[in-house]
């Protein structure tokens, strides 16, 4: 095993380090351990460390971390090496214990970055995501998204690309919305972010009907190709309200996936200003989100990519980046995990600005899927959000909003979630990730409509 | 702070049957041409008879003092959350 050995330093060692010259093993007490089996790593330049200082008031058991570092006598030197794994290790440790010049032998475990970050290759594929989501169980339960409208509020969908990737990709053009001045139509937009989102939503809801709301193609949003204004989203949501209101109450099923948001507080009125968006439930967009949800829509927002470990370079929020509708109490705010069920480092952390307990749930991202950005993955919480939207759409196949209102479905998803991170809710993962088995068991207790009436679904 | 492009949203409460752009302009106390006709009058909470309009910020300054009016509200740019950029 690899070890680090802390030794009392010597004038020879300090002189060699000061001169930036190799430190001979003979100059360290490590030589005394080599005959016992230590193989010194000559490529590792010894590191000089201050001696640990002990706090006299706690019987010397606790290091006094507040004490200033002191490199004067008796400073120590750390070297690296390998000792045998089995009985041989005991010989080295015994030799170390008998040598007053050896202060300690410590494990030197392999360390690696724990979190998937921007620029990392894909972690798994959409097939892994389907397996982890339990899509087979959903399908067996008849939950495929059939008859459910799934709005992708984004940069537009390219249906041909989705069909090339073996998705059915049904689309209702009449219920879609395209901003003024855009020449391409619903389902025929350039292959980009919105197509990725649609693909990822289709993993769990292959038979859902897409509504293509190409808000981010707005010509109003400035110099970047994919940008809109929040007022474009207001128009889109007003259209979605007409779609929802036209559905008979017993058949209402509209899921709205939003993988976008605001990166910079400078784009907004300041917090405290009555016209502010980020923190203000009275802002028109936050009002229309609430009213659409109250009418029966399931609304999901990506939590954002401003995670503290490796945030998107465009993030300009110094704290609480989950803001505006992305933090609304009537939506599901979706964090990102990879297919190893670890939070991706860029996934924004709560608390949220409108509702503190954000994000709500975490689902999969950073996988090889739509290949819209190949060889880069379907990434960002942009991918996680539609993945969960697909699950919600699948549930809505049988459990319509009149029987299971959006708030109840959100609650069910959170209560049955597979806990991640710290026990219970946390601001990295919310309540955890979807546990399809537990979700299906809970859904079995929800009354479903049959032939105009309702009864409890047999378990 | 100046809203992007000088355009803001205003919220107006309008009676059923009077939910159109001219009535919104009247409620705001501004000329009709001040409002963005292409954006129109957008219902944001039909149950509460609440609508929103787009207007130049300067043109609607002080309109929030009138009954049934609130704003101006920001109209910030929005961007996709992916793929993440370094």
CATH number for the domain spanning A173: value is 3.40.50.200
- CA dist A221 and B5 (Å) reads 9
Domain count, chain A: 2
With b meaning 16 or more CB within 10 Å and e meaning fewer, what string describes A396-429? bbbbbbbbbbbeebbebbbebbbebbeeebbbbb
Domain span at A167 = 112-443
- CA dist A28 and A206 (Å) reads 66
A269 contact residues in B (CB cutoff 8 A):
1, 3, 73-74
* Closest Cβ–Cβ partner in A288, A346, A382 for B44: A288
CB contact under 8 A, A381 and B45: no
Task: For residues A71 and A123, state if they share a domain.
Answer: no
- A117 backbone dihedrals φ, ψ, rounded to 5°: -130, 175
B11 vs A: CB within 8 A: yes
A312 contact residues in B (CB cutoff 8 A):
81, 84-86
B84 vs A: CB within 8 A: yes
E strands in chain B: 7-13, 42-45, 50-56, 69-73, 77-80
CB contact under 8 A, A230 and B84: no
B46 contact residues in A (CB cutoff 8 A):
241, 291
Q: What is the DSSP string of A193-219?
A: HHHHHHHHHHTT-TTPEEEEE-GGG-T
B56 vs A: CB within 8 A: no
CA atoms within 13 A on the CB side of A144: 12
CB contact under 8 A, A119 and B86: yes
Residue A457 forms part of a structural domain: no
pLDDT single digits (tens) A85-113: 877 888 888 888 888 888 888 888 766 55
Q: Distances in Å between the alpha carbon of B21 and those of B28, B70, B75? A: 10, 16, 19
Residue A455 forms part of a structural domain: no
At residue A69 the predicted structure's pLDDT band, cuts being 50, 70 and 90, is low
CA A188 to chain centre: 30
A338 vs B: CB within 8 A: no
pLDDT single digits (tens) A396-434: 999 999 999 999 999 999 999 999 999 999 999 999 999
pLDDT single digits (tens) B13-60: 999 899 999 999 999 999 999 999 999 999 999 999 999 999 999 999
Task: For residues A284 and A361, state if they share a domain.
Answer: yes
What are the structure tokens assigned to B46, written together?
């039909």
Our CA-based measurement puts residue B61 at a distance from the nearest CA of chain A, in whole angstroms, of 12
With b meaning 16 or more CB within 10 Å and e meaning fewer, what string describes A236-246? bbbbbbebbee
pLDDT single digits (tens) A46-62: 787 776 555 555 454 44
B45 contact residues in A (CB cutoff 8 A):
287-288, 290-291
B38 contact residues in A (CB cutoff 8 A):
180
Max Cα-Cα span within chain A: 91
Task: For residues A300 and A424, state if they share a domain.
Answer: yes
- Name the nearest CA neighbour of A167 among A367, A390, A380: A390
Contact present, A166 and A127 (Cβ < 8 Å): no
At residue A451 the predicted structure's pLDDT band, cuts being 50, 70 and 90, is very low
A275 vs B: CB within 8 A: yes
* Cβ pairs A/B, distance under 8 A: 165
Task: For residues A296 and A405, state if they share a domain.
Answer: yes
CA atoms within 13 A on the CB side of A41: 17
Q: Distances in Å between the alpha carbon of B39 and those of A217, A220, A232, A410, B9? A: 16, 12, 9, 33, 10
What are the structure tokens assigned to A125, written together?
């594929």
A300 vs B: CB within 8 A: no
Our CA-based measurement puts residue A354 at a distance from the nearest CA of chain B, in whole angstroms, of 16
CA A48 to chain centre: 39
Task: For residues A227 and A103, state if they share a domain.
Answer: no
Bridging pattern class, strands B50-56 and B7-13: antiparallel
Task: For residues A139 and A200, state if they share a domain.
Answer: yes
Residue A458 forms part of a structural domain: no
Residue A211 forms part of a structural domain: yes
pLDDT single digits (tens) A138-196: 999 999 999 999 999 999 999 999 999 999 999 999 999 999 889 999 999 999 999 99
**What pLDDT is attached to residue A40?**
84
CB contact under 8 A, A241 and B43: yes
| Number of other residues whose CB lies within 10 A of the CB of residue B13 | 16
**Average pLDDT score over residue span A250-277:** 94
B37 vs A: CB within 8 A: no
B76 contact residues in A (CB cutoff 8 A):
229-230, 262, 267-268, 277
Chosen domain end from A107, A125, A148: A107
A55 vs B: CB within 8 A: no
Sheet holding B77-80, edge to edge: A228-229, B77-80, A260-261
CATH number, position A48: 3.30.70
CA A73 to chain centre: 48
Chosen domain end from A107, A137, A169: A107
CB contact under 8 A, A294 and B47: yes
What are the structure tokens assigned to A367, written together?
């996988």
Task: For residues A57 and A143, state if they share a domain.
Answer: no
Bridging pattern class, strands A297-302 and A254-258: parallel
Chosen domain end from A107, A133, A148: A107
Task: For residues A407 and A371, state if they share a domain.
Answer: yes
Q: Taking 90 as the threshold, does the pLDDT of residue A26 lie above it?
A: no
CA A233 to chain centre: 24
**What pLDDT is attached to residue A146?**
97
DSSP one-letter code for A65: T
Q: Taking 80 as the threshold, does the pLDDT of residue B2 lie above it?
A: no
pTM of the model: 0.80
Task: For residues A59 and A116, state if they share a domain.
Answer: no
Contact present, B66 and B28 (Cβ < 8 Å): yes
Task: For residues A28 and A162, state if they share a domain.
Answer: no
Task: For residues A219 and A330, state if they share a domain.
Answer: yes
Contact present, A240 and A292 (Cβ < 8 Å): yes
Q: Distances in Å between the alpha carbon of A48 and those of A14, A75, A93, A235? A: 8, 7, 22, 64
What are the structure tokens assigned to A95, written together?
């030799």
Quick check: helix, strand or coil at residue B28? helix
CB contact under 8 A, A266 and B83: no
**What pLDDT is attached to residue B85?**
83
Burial of A455 (0-12, 13-18, 19+ CB in 10 A): exposed
Residue A456 forms part of a structural domain: no
Residue A393 forms part of a structural domain: yes
A376 vs B: CB within 8 A: yes
A304 vs B: CB within 8 A: yes
| Number of other residues whose CB lies within 10 A of the CB of residue A56 | 8
Count of residues making up chain A: 459
Smallest CA–CA distance from A277 into chain B, residue: B74
> Computed over its alpha carbons, how large is the radius of gyration of chain B?
14
Residue A14 forms part of a structural domain: yes
Task: For residues A74 and A195, state if they share a domain.
Answer: no
- A30 backbone dihedrals φ, ψ, rounded to 5°: -60, -30
A267 contact residues in B (CB cutoff 8 A):
4, 74, 76-77
**What pLDDT is attached to residue A458?**
39
Contact present, A259 and A386 (Cβ < 8 Å): yes
What are the structure tokens assigned to A363, written together?
């689902």
A283 contact residues in B (CB cutoff 8 A):
9, 73-74
Residue A450 forms part of a structural domain: no
Our CA-based measurement puts residue B1 at a distance from the nearest CA of chain A, in whole angstroms, of 6
- CA dist A219 and A259 (Å) reads 19
- CA dist A412 and A414 (Å) reads 5
């Amino acid at each position: 095993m690899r070890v680090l050995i802390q030794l009392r330093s010597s004038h020879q060692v300090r002189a060699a380090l000061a001169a930036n010259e190799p430190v001979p093993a003979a100059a360290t007490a490590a030589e005394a351990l080599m005959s016992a089996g230590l193989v010194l790593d000559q490529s590792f330049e010894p590191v000089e460390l201050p001696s640990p200082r002990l706090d006299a008031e706690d019987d010397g058991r606790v290091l006094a971390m507040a004490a200033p570092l002191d490199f004067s006598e008796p400073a120590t030197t750390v070297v690296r090496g390998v000792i045998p794994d089995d009985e041989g290790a005991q010989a080295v440790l015994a030799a170390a214990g008998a040598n007053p010049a050896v202060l300690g032998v410590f494990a030197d475990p392999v360390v690696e970055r724990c979190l998937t970050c921007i620029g990392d290759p894909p972690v798994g594929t959409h097939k892994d995501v389907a397996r982890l989501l339990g899509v087979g169980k959903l399908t067996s339960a008849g939950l495929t998204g059939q008859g459910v409208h799934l709005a992708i509020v984004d940069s537009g969908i390219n249906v041909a690309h989705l069909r090339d990737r073996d998705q059915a990709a049904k689309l209702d053009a009449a219920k879609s919305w395209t901003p003024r001045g855009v020449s391409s139509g619903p389902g025929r937009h350039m292959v980009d972010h919105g197509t990725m989102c649609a693909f990822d939503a289709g993993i769990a809801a292959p038979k859902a009907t897409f509504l293509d709301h190409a808000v981010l193609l707005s010509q109003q949003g400035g110099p970047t190709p994919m940008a809109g204004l929040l007022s474009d989203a207001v128009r889109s949501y007003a259209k979605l309200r007409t779609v929802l209101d036209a559905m008979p109450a017993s058949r209402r099923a509209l899921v709205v996936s939003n993988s976008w948001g605001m990166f910079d507080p400078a784009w907004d009125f300041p917090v405290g200003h009555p016209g502010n968006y980020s923190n203000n439930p009275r802002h028109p967009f936050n009002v229309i989100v609430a009213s659409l949800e109250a009418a029966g829509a399931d609304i999901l927002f990506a939590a954002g990519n401003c995670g503290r470990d490796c945030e998107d370079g465009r993030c300009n929020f110094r704290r609480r980046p989950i803001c505006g509708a992305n933090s609304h109490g009537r939506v599901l705010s979706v964090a990102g995990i990879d297919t190893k069920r670890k939070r991706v480092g860029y996934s924004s952390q709560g608390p949220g600005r409108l509702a503190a307990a954000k994000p709500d749930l975490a689902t999969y991202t950073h996988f090889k899927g739509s290949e819209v950005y190949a060889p880069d993955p379907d990434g960002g919480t942009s991918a996680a959000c539609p993945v969960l939207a697909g699950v919600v759409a699948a549930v809505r196949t049988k459990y319509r909003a009149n029987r299971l209102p959006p708030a109840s479905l959100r609650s069910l998803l959170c209560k049955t979630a597979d806990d991640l991170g710290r026990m219970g809710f946390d601001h990295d993962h919310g309540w955890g990730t979807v546990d399809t088995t537990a979700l299906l068991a809970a859904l079995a207790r929800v009354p479903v409509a049959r032939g105009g009436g309702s009864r409890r679904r047999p378990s | 702070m100046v809203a992007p492009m000088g355009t803001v949203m205003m919220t107006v409460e309008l009676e059923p049957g009077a939910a159109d752009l001219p009535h919104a302009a009247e409620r705001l106390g501004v000329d009709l041409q001040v409002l963005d006709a292409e954006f129109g009058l957008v219902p944001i909470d039909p149950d509460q008879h609440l609508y929103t309009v787009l207007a130049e910020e300067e043109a609607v300054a002080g309109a929030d003092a009138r009954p049934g009016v609130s704003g101006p509200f920001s109209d910030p740019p929005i961007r996709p959350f992916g793929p993440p950029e370094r």
